[in-house]
Chains A and B, each alone.
Chain A
Amino acid sequence: MPINILMPALSPTMEQGNLVKWLKKEGDKVKAGDVIAEIETDKATMEVEAVDEGTLGKILVAEGTNDVAVNKPIAVLFEEGEDASAVSAAPAEQPKTAAAPEAKKEEPKKEEPKVEAAKAEPAKPAPVAAPVPAPKANGAGVKVFASPLARRIAKERGVNLSAIAGSGPHGRIVKKDVESARPGAGAPAAAGGGAFGLPLMPDDQIRALFEPGSYDVVPHDGMRRTIATRMQQSMIVVPHFFLAVDFEVDALLKLREEMNSYAPKEDGKPVWRVSVNDLIVKAFALTLKKHPNANASWTEGGMLRHHNVDIGIAVAIPGGGLITPILRNAQDKPLPELAQESSNLAKRARDKKLKPHEYQGGTAAISNLGMYGVKHFTAIVNPPHSTILAVAASEKRPVVVGDKIEIRTMMTATLSCDHRVVDGADAANIMQTLKGFVEKPVGLVM
């Protein structure tokens, strides 16, 4: 029987993607595991593997097609002895979503709870074979599929439909989904890839404030939408507070220089190069290991206190956007290893080649704008993280040492905290510990 190959969901929040390239032609023989196409999502470009053996019978979505909905058939795979005449008979009941092995591998990692995971969980009818589509965004130009009755009950109870998963046909939200949703769920809180949130005013009102023709309308890409959604949700839901501390980094810079001078070389080039950011990552990781109550994620059911410190590093992407690949178990990794890993992740992040498990999850994050000469800034916590450290530029400043003014290299770092998880005094203590690691950096290599 011909098998429909469906647009895979490469991450729980993915709703659509761009079919960048077909790597197989119609008529090509395909084995399970063969890479058949490349797909670009809001976060990354990924390879799609075949899950069945057969012949790529018909390509239904041409390469270069943008915004292909998840689960839409993109091609038909023929089993032995079948040909194109069977295409129309390809049963919709037997969908096999093309494999996204990277995404699957990541599932068992229970220590990395994701907001997405909470709501991608189906309402639990009996056996479910077809993937349950992720909830649809609302107000972002993506339609929420819900029955009229479900809509009405949701309105009455104040449930945000975009925050719940539908169990009806094609993921349609039906009455029972709304009734089983916690009343009030739906506040943007519950949404991970969901609500674009509360637009301040309708589009046409905003446009009316400007001369027609005085602006261009640039459509949002997936990454822009994701950033907008997540940051807006975080600012609405997460009670933020910020505290800034100045660190003296002369010793840190010296350590870095010495370490790098010991780096082994290949073809005359050092195999690794520890950056200031790597040292801060290590210092922050060791700090959080000492403050386990802050290395945690808020969930309604209880605090998830993580065993490892997984630090996301914000990487700006050329042409706009950003993504935060995760340095896992940063507390345990020696600096040379951390340095190699972070430079590898950052490079692939800029090339949009990260796989979902490389950027999803994490327990805290670091945003470093030091290279731009920024003196001080604050960052927005990206749940499930509960803190983010905003690292500004290192610069020579006059500093009072004893009763004298001396020139020292200083850096201001600002910690943003989710107050549901971290209290003020905790945060102050964290910054004290961090200061210790940064100013007496021998601890980072021991």
Chain B
Amino acid sequence: MADNTFDIIIIGGGPGGYVAAIRAAQLGFKTAVVEREHLGGICSNWGCIPTKALLRSAEIFTYFGHAKDYGLMAEKFGFDIAAIIKRSRGIAGQMNSGVQFLFKKNKITTIWGDAKITKPGEIAVTAPTKGVLGPPVEGPKGALGAGTYKAAHIIVATGARPRVLPGLEPDKKQVWTYFEAMNPDKFPKSLLVVGSGAIGVEFASFYRALGAEVTIVELLPQILPVEDAEIAAFARKQFEKQGIKIITGAKVTKLDKKADSVTATIDVGGKAEMITAEKVISAVGVVGNIENIGLEAAGVKTDKGIVVTDGYGRTNVKGIYAIGDVAGPPMLAHKAEHEGVTTVEMIKGLKVHALDKAKVPGCTYCNPQIASVGLTETKAKEQGRQVKIGRFPFIGNGKAIALGEPEGLCKTIFDAKTGELLGAHLAGAEVTELIQGFVVAMNCETTEEELMHTIFPHPTLSETMKESVLDAYGRVLNM
């Protein structure tokens, strides 16, 4: 095979693309990934991982504030925002070089630049023209550059970018996206967060923990709109207790920028309200990167900003596939990874199953953490299901009390007829680590019976999961 010809070319080196590439290499495909900015994508460089680093700093800072509760003394403590960010960027860098190492190990070729599908089976790559923070980033050593490349299978994994709402256009200085929010010049005294999805509440939690005045404005009546209403209400109560101001059913209609502050006019049910903050974070969702990659010319069907696929990553054009954010919600790294693997295995001819969106878990690392999988109570009822619902609060769990984290809730939803676990929704300490238990259960199609027969170790927070299941069937023990 010529040097510019591959079995599979993946456009985009984010979590979807790089994992797909590794799987492809494992299956013996000659594989290349086109990337223009950072291997590992937003997730490793500007998303999941660096924000977890920031939130960890905030969490430990919060513990310092409660040292006395644990019999400890921490009279004088503070934070250095530059050092917190340095740590976060360092971790992102580590992720990035980790992906480079994995590519080398798996003999995956990196092509550096902007890719455009010229026709099915062929792409043109040009040198990158700009980077996220300004000048274009140089590619890793050994990467191929501009040119024409061929592959029978082209996987589009170009990800997503922050959605821009009219009047709320980010300006990098006062109106931030997550890029600036995780890389501020100095710590803002006050912050207006527009949007209460995962990105919005995570930054709200981070900045509030370190002392900023934080206001969240949400268009819908519920914060964390995709989460179960009960969990969202629980989280809201906790946020408000921490001093975060939350305005729901509200729309930002105007931004008045002054030298060192922004005043937002907010329409709350017809009444105008003014909020002034040093910075605004626009966290109103993300949109797929479908532009300028030649999809239109190749005849690839898109709909409302995402590439239309068949559940296995296939588009309407033979040989062109799409995975991850660009292939539609839920726009989550683990969903992208799974799709990448599924698509590559399908190309290989292995037996695969289409993505079941109902079994994609979601994790939000605000304080308290939120984790969920499956249907919310509202959705389950909308589907006409008869449900059995179990709840267990962390206050009934010994480990939670010992940790000093008694605020939490585990909620489970079962189909009353079949015992199918329809949904699990958790809020509280470390619930993002707990949720996988329910995800495994769902994928194995367990019923309440197997969950009840499963021994959950004591003392752990996971016992709240079993208690919640027991509660759904009127058998709760520790409440």
- Please indicate whether A and B come from the same complex rather than being unrelated chains: yes
Residues of A within 8 A of B (CB): 1, 91, 93-94, 125-130, 147-150, 152-153, 156, 167, 174-175
Q: Assuming the A-B contacts A156-B417, A156-B418, are A148 and B350 also in contact, with contact meaning beta carbons closer than 8 angstroms in the complex?
A: no
Q: Is the CB of B420 within 8 A of A130?
A: no
Instruction: Report the stretch among B43-51, B374-382, B399-407, B440-448 that lies at the interface.
Output: B440-448
8 of the cross-chain contacts (CB-CB < 8 Å) are: A93-B27, A93-B345, A126-B352, A127-B349, A129-B349, A148-B445, A152-B418, A156-B418
Chain A: CB-nearest residue to B347: A127
Q: Is there contact, CB below 8 Å, between A125 and B418? A: no
Q: Are A149 and B447 in contact (CB under 8 A)?
A: yes
CB–CB A148/B447 < 8 A: yes
- With A93-B27, A125-B353, A175-B420 as known contacts, state yes or no: A152 contacts B348, CB within 8 Å: no
Q: Find out whether the CB atom of A148 lies under 8 angstroms from the CB atom of B353.
A: no
B176 close to chain A: CB less than 8 A? no
1/0 per residue, CB under 8 A from A, across B345-367: the answer is 11011111110000000000000
* Residue from the list A94, A127, A148, A149 in contact with B346, Cβ < 8 A: A127
Least CB distance from A153 to B in Å reads: 6
Q: Are B348 and A149 in contact (CB under 8 A)?
A: no
Please report the C-alpha to C-alpha distance between residue A150 and residue B349 in the assembled complex, in whole angstroms. 27
How far, in angstroms, from A149 to B415 measured CA to CA in the complex? Answer: 11
B420 close to A1 (CB less than 8 A): no
The distance from the CB of B255 to the nearest CB of chain A, in whole angstroms, is 48
Which single member of B350, B354, B420 contacts A93 (CB below 8 Å)? B350
Q: Does B312 contact A (CB under 8 A)?
A: yes
Q: Is B419 an interface position by the 8 A CB rule?
A: yes
Q: B445 to A1, Cβ gap below 8 A?
A: no
| Residue B450 interfacial (CB < 8 Å) | yes
Cross-chain contact B351 with A148 (CB below 8 angstroms): no
> Cα distance A149–B442 when bound, in Å?
10
Check if A150 sits within 8 Å of B350, measured CB to CB.
no
Docked Cα-Cα span, A152 to B420, in Å, equals 9
* Total A-B pairs, Cβ < 8 A: 56
CA of A130 to CA of B346 in the docked complex: distance in angstroms? 12
Q: Is the CB of A149 within 8 A of B353?
A: no
Closest A residue by C-beta to B353: A125
Among B310, B420, B449, chain A packs the most CB atoms within 10 A around the CB of B420
B131 at the interface (CB under 8 A from A): no
Partner of A152, one of B311, B354, B419: B419
* Category for how many chain B residues contact A: 20 to 34
Which residues from A are CB-within-8-Å of B26? 91
> What distance in Å separates the Cβ of A437 from its nearest Cβ neighbour in chain B?
52
Q: Do A148 and B354 touch across chains, with their CB atoms under 8 A apart?
A: no
B350 touches A147 (CB 8 A): no
Query: Across chains A and B, which 3 residue pairs bring their CB atoms closest together, nearest first?
Result: A147-B445, A149-B445, A129-B349
Besides A149-B418, A175-B445, 4 new A-B residue pairs in contact (Cβ under 8 A), listed by A number: A128-B351, A152-B447, A156-B418, A167-B353
Chain A residues near B345 (CB, 8 Å)?
Answer: 93
Does B27 contact A149, Cβ atoms closer than 8 Å? no
A148 & B450 in contact (Cβ 8 Å cutoff)? yes
Partner pick for B446 among A94, A126, A148, CB 8 A cutoff: A148
Q: Within 8 Å of chain A (Cβ to Cβ): is B28? A: yes
B303 to chain A, nearest CB (A): 21
8 Å CB interface, B198-217 against A: none
Asked whether, in the complex, the Cβ of A129 is within 8 Å of the Cβ of B351, the reply is: yes
Contact A129 B350 (CB under 8 A): yes
Q: Beyond A149-B418, A156-B417, is A126–B346 a contact (Cβ under 8 Å)?
A: yes
Complex-state Cα separation, A167 to B351, whole angstroms: 9
- Contact across chains for A126 and B419 when beta carbons are under 8 A apart: no
The answer to whether A125 and B419 touch (CB under 8 A), given A152-B447, A175-B445, is: no
A148 to chain B: which residues have CB within 8 Å?
444-447, 449-450
Known: A93-B27, A127-B346, A129-B350. Is A153-B444 also a contact (CB below 8 A)?
Answer: no
- Is there an interface contact between A149 and B350, defined as CB atoms closer than 8 Å? no
* B352 CB contacts on chain A under 8 angstroms: 125-127
Shortest CB–CB separation between residue A243 and chain B, in angstroms? 49
Report whether A125 and B354 are in contact in the complex, using a CB–CB cutoff of 8 Å.
yes
Q: How far is the CA of A167 from the CA of B356 in the complex (A)?
A: 14
Nearest-CB residue, chain A, relative to B356: A176
A366 to B346, CA, bound (A): 47
Interface hits, B449-469 → A, CB 8 Å: 449-450
- How distant is the Cα of A147 from the Cα of B441 in the complex, in angstroms? 10
Q: Indicate the member of B354, B418, B419, B445 with the most A CB atoms within 10 Å.
A: B445
Inter-chain contact B418/A147, CB cutoff 8 Å: no
List chain A residues, Cβ under 8 A from B354: 125-126
Q: Which residue in A129, A153, A174 is a CB contact (below 8 Å) of B418?
A: A153
A152 to chain B, nearest CB (A): 6
Residues of A with C-beta under 8 A to B351: 125, 127-130
Interface string of B319-360 (1 = CB under 8 A from A): 000000000000000000000000001101111111000000
Instruction: Tell me the B399-450 residues at the A interface (CB within 8 Å).
Output: 417-420, 444-447, 449-450
For A126, give the chain B residue with the smallest CB separation.
B312
Residues of A contacting B446 in the complex (Cβ-Cβ under 8 angstroms): 147-149
User: Which A residues are CB-close (under 8 A) to B449?
Assistant: 148
B425 to chain A, nearest CB (A): 20
Contact (Cβ within 8 A) A150 B353: no
Q: Which residues of B contact A150 (CB under 8 A)?
A: 445
Contact present for A149 and B312 (CB under 8 Å):
no
A147 and B449 CA atoms in complex are apart in Å by 12
In the complex, are the beta carbons of B420 and A149 less than 8 A apart?
Answer: yes
Residue of B nearest to A129 (CB): B349
In the assembled complex, which residues on chain B have CB atoms less than 8 Å from the CB atom of A147? 444-446
Set of chain B residues within 8 Å of A94, measured between Cβ atoms: 27
Given A149-B446, A152-B419, A175-B420 in contact, is the A93-B346 Cβ separation under 8 Å? no
Contacts of B28 in A (CB 8 A): 1
